Amino acid sequence: MVYRSLDSVTVKDVEALGISSELAQEIHKKVTEIVRDYGSATPEAWNRISKHVLTPNLPFSLHQALYYGCYKDFGPDPPAWIPDPESALFTNIGRLLERHGKEFLGSKYRDPISSFSHLQEFSVSNPEVYWKTVLDEMCIDFSVPPNCILQSPSEESLTLNPGGKWLPGAFVNPAKNCLNVNSKRSLDDIVIIWRDEGDDDLPVKSMTLKELQTEVWLVAHALNALGLNRGSAIAIDMPMNVYSVIIYLAIVLAGYVVVSIADSFAPLEISTRLKISKAKAIFTQDLIIRGEKSLPLYSRVVEAQAPMAIVLPAKSSSFNIKLRDGDISWPEFLERVKKLKGDVFKAVEQPIEAFTNILFSSGTTGEPKAIPWTNGSPFKAAADAWCHMDIRKGDIVAWPTNLGWMMGPWLVYASLLNGASMALYNGSPLSSGFSKFVQDAKVTMLGVIPSIVRTWKSTDCIAGYDWSSIRCFSSTGEASNVDEYLWLMGRACYKPVIEYCGGTEIGGGFVSGSFLQPQSLAAFSTSVMGCRLFILGDDGHPIPEDAPGMGELALGPLMFGSSSTLLNASHYDVYFKEMPSWNGLILRRHGDVFERTSRGYYRAHGRADDTMNIGGIKVSSVEIERICNAVDSSVLETAAIGVPPADGGPEHLVIAVVFKDPDNSTSDLNKLRISFNSAVQRNLNPLFKVSHVVALPSLPRTATNKVMRRVLRQQLAQVDHNSKL
């Protein structure tokens, strides 16, 4: 659509968008005054329009007309939100800079907004000062303090541990820190707010810090009563609700290791993760209740041949399933230690390198990479939230996720370690019930993934709910879509979207947005604090740090909170082998293709390797291909490719098929697509969807017989775009 510049918009143009004549005249008058005072194509003009003209109740077509009209001739990366200098002073980073700006930056320091990029560089070049300051700001309590912040790798240890050693000598328990009383909160402060689907007309439920302590201590006592060795792995395969959060914290508090398993996984995927982690027990539910549907969960755990299961009822009033011999119901599990309720559980303090959580990220061989989070990883997650989403005391943080993915533990630590409350909706985030929960809980930071936003926009399930309490959104997991995120901002009176991209193996993000920088839609404005980014050119070496360009992303290796080991693969081979060096340090592989724009923003362009991103979940092509190859006897081989839509947004899963008999290429490909869909959802993940199937005479391959996925991605992008999926 062609949009008119703001200085040429007429009252009739506004009326044509379905707005009454009287209201159209009022809107036109306000826009005309803003154009007169701030110009027709400036960020300040859009800032005024977004705050003083547009409301959630006005047609989105008007929002589009004014946004695109304002930036008609602006060029790339128009800011959808710009920081306010006064408000910036009261952000976490703003306060930090007002106190330490001149000490850290010297004559470079002017004010929080103009000096933000200098602080980011300082955080990389002066990790000792920066990280000590931030850990102090978050009131992190070490039972034994670290000898230093960073022990850089020596030449001898460079190939063993290129990322150095962080907080060496420290002993700590991150769950204890989540439960501590400190300057950020008291025992009476609310730390969890929740609601169950179906109770949408009832008041939200809440739990104070004192109540959370009591519940976590009791579960920790009950865990000890199981007689497991300290450090044993204990899985959680549950929806993310108040009970799973209590269990998660109790496992860490008692010195065990959480094994994160998503509640959507099929039995085979559950079994794989249990075997890799050598889990000794698992917490799960009998069912997952979504609306009128009851989805089996315990039966999947049983089919996965899980170890001893502690089984919670989905509804506290009913528990009717028969358990295996050796499995324990939740009431029985707690009954054993009921006399200890209220007794303090002494946290198990362990070395900083001790494992607290085993999470999984897809590898390229079909088996998921088992990534341990150490005692240090939670502090990286919380620091990202403190720095970039500005999470602090008084905030209420919601992010529809699961403990099976890194954003589940991230949410726990990002909220509790920063003195905020977490908001949990035990139900589908795609419903109007969730929209009402955001309103009723007065959520201030709402995390999303683009596919959720797309559904909200298409169903309009947010209409009529007041999201004005939101201070910011944050988005991760997939590439965002400009129009969808313009719509999202408009639901909360144009609060910023802080884009956030990282990885399980990093403990958080490497690129993000900030409250102290203009935010452009579907773009990242900065490297995360403490991280240095490199874009590799065609020769495999970094292009100049400030130059625009696109290529595979590499990371500076000295990142606080990032992994240094894998349970089932060589960490060095996966992340460092054959990577270029910079200033004597081996760069760390990430695998995404990134662009740095002429205005200094970053944009993601999908995976450079064989791992794709479907619905916010990274998955190996090999995993999908293994399933699809067995669906139909006429199939010789398949290639699973994630194809980004032409207009941006989450990748589409396209399957290229080579038939044994070339004449079969004219067969019913839609029928085959349905079969692939069914098999992938049954055996891998019910959230995955095959968008398109394409028949090819052969797959393009290298001289060493590797499938050339980049070539296929380019070819299939044309098919996918033309089909308008």
Task: For residue 296, give the nearest of 332, 342, 261, 265 by alpha carbon.
Answer: 265
CATH level 3 topology of 610-723: GMP Synthetase; Chain A, domain 3 (3.30.300)
Q: Which pLDDT does position 724 carry in this prediction?
A: 46
Q: Decide if 549 contacts 149 (C-beta within 8 A).
A: no
* pLDDT given at position 721: 54
What does the chain come to in residues? 725
* CA geometry: angle 269, 196, 614, nearest 5 deg: 35
Q: Which of 638, 630, 624, 650 is nearest to 693 (CA)?
A: 638
Whether pTM > 0.85 for this model: the answer is yes
> What value, to the nearest 5°, has the Cα angle with vertex 108 and ends 102 and 109?
45
Please check whether residue 574 is in contact with residue 364, taking contact to mean a CB–CB distance below 8 angstroms.
Answer: no
Q: What angle do CA 475, 79, 548 make, to 5 degrees?
A: 85
The per-residue b/e assignment along 213-242, b for 16 or more CB within 10 angstroms, e otherwise, is bbbbbbbbbbbbebebeeebbbbbbbbbbb
Q: Which stretches of 330-417 are DSSP H helices?
A: 330-335, 377-388, 407-416
The DSSP annotation for 31-60 comes to HHHHHHHH-SSSHHHHHHHHHHT--TTS-H
Asked if CATH classification 3.40.50.12780 holds for the domain at 166-591, the reply, yes or no, is yes
pLDDT value at residue 615: 77
Give the angle subtended at the CA of 143 by the CAs of 137 and 144, to the nearest 5°: 95
Interatomic CA distance for residues 169 and 144, integer angstroms: 7
Crossing angle for the helix pair 127-137 and 116-125, nearest 10 degrees? 110
The total of other beta-carbon atoms located within 10 Å of residue 42's CB is: 16
What per-residue confidence (pLDDT) applies to 366? 62
How far from chain centre, in Å, is Cα 141? 26
Contacts of 506 by beta carbon, 8 Å cutoff, 6+ apart: 380, 555, 559, 561, 562, 563
Query: Tokens 């008609």 identify what position?
Result: 72
- In the chain, which residues have pLDDT < 70? 1, 156-158, 316-318, 362-366, 609-611, 618, 665-666, 702-706, 718-725
The token pair at 708 is 């050339």
**Tell me: the pLDDT tens digits for 679-703?**
999 888 888 999 999 999 988 875 4
**Spans of all domains in the chain:** 6-75, 166-591, 610-723
> How far is residue 646's CA from residue 221's CA, in Å, rounded to a whole number?
54
Cα angle: 100, vertex 101, 103; to 5 degrees:
65
